[in-house]
Amino acid sequence: MLPAIYNDIILEFLKNKRLAAIFVMYFLAVSLLFVQITQAFFSDTASSLSNTFAAAAEFPPLTSAALKINEFSSHGGASIEWVELINPTGSSVDVSGWSIEDNNLSDVFPTVSPIPPGGFAVVVPNSSSLSVPGSAVKITLGTGNIGNGLADDGDRIILKDASATEIDKVSYGDDTFIFPTPVPAPGASQSAARIPNGFDTDSASDWQIDSTPTVGTTNSL
């Protein structure tokens, strides 16, 4: 039971519409003042007295300043292996003279067309008969395999620019050279792919096994 005085106030409220209107206006004014003081209304990042709210962490980085190794297929003989690169930048990138290496050897890229903004390239060994979409730049190595071949059980792939600066790298299977817990080794007809496309936090968790590889096109599962 409410004390009698509250009953009186409620009764007075119901009888007196003017008093009710004043109360509602007072409530709105206090609410607006609160929003103005705290700046905590419709804002991505705001401080509200002792609390801080940040929305930015929920959004992954969309682009990077450099090319990425975006997908690779390593299972089976060296002649059917391939490595996909993505250019997530807003400018064309000429990878002529860049190199790719595994746990054993480095191969220099021949002269090729620049990779357009948002475009793909596919690195294949000299003996490859892989069909690559016309929209992707095909980089056929003149020196045999990708390194000494990408081992099925585990290996590493390192991309370097023409100045031998490391641009991106990944290790998979039993090769812990780059990641302490490497990307799982793809099986027959599988690839390992960055999901989402081009996503890079320098962690093996950026990668997933894809049973329907997307050579030269956008990764998706």
The window from 29-37, 124-132, 169-177, 213-221 that contacts Ca ion (CB under 5 A) reads 213-221
User: What b/e string do you get for 137-150 counting C-beta neighbours within 10 Å, with b at 16 or more?
Assistant: bbbbbeeebbbebb
- The answer to whether 107 contacts Ca ion (rule: CB under 5 A) is no
Concatenated DSSP letters for 85-117? EE--SSS-B--TT-EEE-SS-EEE--S-PPBPT
CB of 150 to Ca ion, least distance (A): 5
CB of 201 to Ca ion, least distance (A): 18
- The answer to whether 94 contacts Ca ion (rule: CB under 5 A) is no
> Residue 66 or 105: which CB sits closer to Ca ion?
105
- Which residues within the stretch 119-158 sit at the binding site for Ca ion (CB under 5 A)? 147-148, 150-152, 155
110: its two tokens: 């021949």
- The answer to whether 103 contacts Ca ion (rule: CB under 5 A) is yes
The mark string for 51-90 relative to Ca ion (x by CB under 5 A, - otherwise) is: --------------------x--x---------x------
Strand partners, 159: 100, 168
The window from 2-10, 101-109, 129-137, 204-212 that contacts Ca ion (CB under 5 A) reads 101-109
Residues 6+ apart with CB under 8 A from 212: none
> Residue 98 or 207: which CB sits closer to Ca ion?
207
> Residue 34 or 187: which CB sits closer to Ca ion?
187
> Which is nearest to 173 in space by CA: 162, 164, 163, 182?
182
Could you tell me if residue 128 is left (phi over 0), alpha (psi between -120 and 50 degrees) or otherwise beta? beta
DSSP three-state, residue 210: strand
The window from 36-44, 50-58, 91-99, 206-214 that contacts Ca ion (CB under 5 A) reads 206-214
In 55-95, where does DSSP find H-type helix? none
> Which is nearest to 141 in space by CA: 84, 99, 87?
99
The window from 8-16, 52-60, 178-186, 210-218 that contacts Ca ion (CB under 5 A) reads 210-218
Residues lying near Ca ion in the complex (CB under 5 A) are found at 71, 74, 84, 102-104, 147-148, 150-152, 155, 214, 219
